[in-house]
Amino acid sequence: MLSSAIMHTRIAQVSIDNEALRHNLSQVKAFAPDSKVIAVIKANAYGHGVHNAAAVLSGADAFALATPNEAVLLRQSGVTKVLIVLQGFSSLDELKLLASHNIQPVIHHPSQVDLLEQCAEVTLDVWLKVDTGMHRLGVPADRVEACCQRLRACGSVANIRLMSHFANADDPDHSLNQQQLSVLNSIADQTGIHDISMANSAALIALPDSHKQWVRPGIMLYGSSPLNGKSAEELNLKSVMQFESRLIAVQNLKQGDAIGYGSLWQCPEDMRVGVVAAGYADGYPRHAKSGTPVWINGALCPLVGRISMDSLCVDLRGVEISVGERVVLWGRELSVDVVAKHADTISYELLCHTGAGFVSSTR
Ligand SMILES: *Cc1c(COP(=O)(O)O)cnc(C)c1O
């Protein structure tokens, strides 16, 4: 992520639309009206600035962070809401740190139960993460009952809630989704725990059976679509990060002239090419392919040639645009999802790499 010191010296700038962020939270509640909301604001709120996001999302019931330090920093900044650490703790010191700040860890591995058993002097609520089929973090289904018994015997554990995560929620028809859900349901019956969180953004929208008591939206809060084949606009989600810059040069080139490093793209005819002050140093993906749209004054201009550190080039055929024109790399005028697709990645990665603590809020 870029530091504020760097960003303030750049022409390319990121700003955050707080109204859009609040709107997307209201969409979460419209999709899952009977569930409490754990707003996922890990990785600096997917690059949107975690302190601002926490303030704007005050309507959420809880916040989820990835690591203990993220959560402690947020707590120390004065946030009093329920804070959940998705990766939990990995040492006694971290466990004590979380307990002393009233932060709830996710327990995903027996080694964490060992630490809880060694730490009788603290009290905290925990989330037991169950591996229902993703095979990343979580206690295997056949070990959950035993793990629960150990947790219940721990003096340090007050409440136990259940959590699990879908591997394929972006593809709602994938057969593993229903399998994962039925494993989760039988674990709920087995353990008698009916305080459960399963749904990420995609499941929140497309798999209502998975809503349970707590939903865990991340990406949809930031106005990007979590579903393959559905746009953010179709889901009534509004873009939160506005990534803009300006056109700093217009070149009149001849047929056959090649553009940029590696001379990869050649002008098929005499034409105008624009240079935008945004490159990979600003968080624009270097692997975005020629043809990726760039919004300039109402036109979608295709990117041409390689992305440089501080600039990128666009095909200006058919548009009358001059130096100084406002350029949107992604935001309200052009979805980050479209750019991500052209760069063979997902919006999550682009957002995380672009934003940072420097961001200014609008509206
Ligand atoms: C990041 C994360 C989420 C949020 O996922 P989105 O797809 O951004 O909604 C939910 N749960 C867990 C465990 C996560 O790591």
**CATH classification of the domain holding 355:** 2.40.37.10
Quote the percentage of the chain above a pLDDT of 70: 96
Query: Minimal CA–CA distance to 197: which of 269, 119, 115, 106?
Result: 106
> What CATH number has the domain bearing residue 29?
3.20.20.10
Residues 108 and 198 grouped into a single domain: yes
C-beta separation of 115 from 89 below 8 A: yes
Quote the percentage of the chain above a pLDDT of 90: 93
Q: Which of 164, 194, 222 is the last residue of a domain?
A: 222
The token pair at 169 is 């929620």
- Whether 357 has a pLDDT exceeding 50, the answer reads no
Q: What is the pLDDT of residue 8?
A: 73
Question: In testing the pocket of ligand 1, which one of 216, 222, 235, 350 has its CB within 8 Å of the most ligand atoms?
Answer: 216
Contacts 24+ apart (CB under 8 A), 117-122: 117/150, 117/154, 118/92, 119/92, 119/95, 119/156, 120/154, 120/155, 120/156, 121/156, 122/95, 122/96, 122/156
Please give the Cα distance from 16 to 53 (Å, whole number). 9
How far away, in angstroms, is 42 Cα from ligand 1 center?
9
165: left (phi over 0), alpha (psi -120 to 50) or beta: beta
Residue 257: strand pairing partners:
none
Q: For residue range 246-263, what is the model confidence (pLDDT) as tens digits?
A: 999 999 999 999 999 999
Instruction: Name the DSSP letter for residue 192.
Output: T
Question: In testing the pocket of ligand 1, which one of 21, 35, 40, 211 has its CB within 8 Å of the most ligand atoms?
Answer: 40
What are the catalytic residues?
42, 261
Mean pLDDT of 258-284: 96
Average pLDDT of the chain, as a whole number:
94
The token pair at 115 is 């630490």
Q: For residue range 295-348, what is the model confidence (pLDDT) as tens digits?
A: 999 999 999 999 999 999 999 999 999 999 999 999 999 999 999 999 999 999
How far away, in angstroms, is 200 Cα from ligand 1 center?
5
Residue 293's domain spans which residues? 241-362
Q: What is the pLDDT of residue 361?
A: 58
How far away, in angstroms, is 86 Cα from ligand 1 center?
9
Q: What is the pLDDT of residue 362?
A: 59
Ligand 1, residue 86: give the atom nearest the CA: 13
Half-sphere exposure (Cβ direction) of 251: Cα atoms closer than 13 Å: 17
Name 229's Cβ contacts closer than 8 Å, sequence gap at least 6: none
Residue nearest atom 4 in ligand 1 by C-alpha distance: 218
Residues 185 and 318 grouped into a single domain: no
Residues 339 and 204 grouped into a single domain: no
Residues 276 and 200 grouped into a single domain: no
> Would you say the C-alpha torsion 43, 44, 50, 56 has a positive or negative sign?
negative
Q: Which of 188, 222, 256 is the last residue of a domain?
A: 222
Half-sphere exposure (Cβ direction) of 285: Cα atoms closer than 13 Å: 25
Q: What is the pLDDT of residue 93?
A: 96
Mean pLDDT of 143-163: 95
Ligand 1 is surrounded, with C-beta below 6 A, by 40, 42, 86, 165, 200-202, 216-219, 226
Residues 215 and 260 grouped into a single domain: no
Q: Name the band, by pLDDT with cuts 50, 70 and 90, for residue 7.
A: low
The number of distinct structural domains making up the chain is 2
Residues 120 and 218 grouped into a single domain: yes
Contacts 24+ apart (CB under 8 A), 261-268: 261/305, 261/306, 261/308, 262/305, 262/306, 264/290, 264/305, 264/306, 265/290, 265/304, 265/305, 265/313
Backbone angles phi, psi at 150, to 5 degrees: -65, -45
Q: What is the pLDDT of residue 9?
A: 86
Please give the Cα distance from 350 to 1 (Å, whole number). 10
Half-sphere exposure (Cβ direction) of 210: Cα atoms closer than 13 Å: 30
- Whether 66 has a pLDDT exceeding 80, the answer reads yes
How far away, in angstroms, is 40 Cα from ligand 1 center?
7
Specify if 13 maps to a domain.
Answer: no
Please give the Cα distance from 357 to 354 (Å, whole number). 10
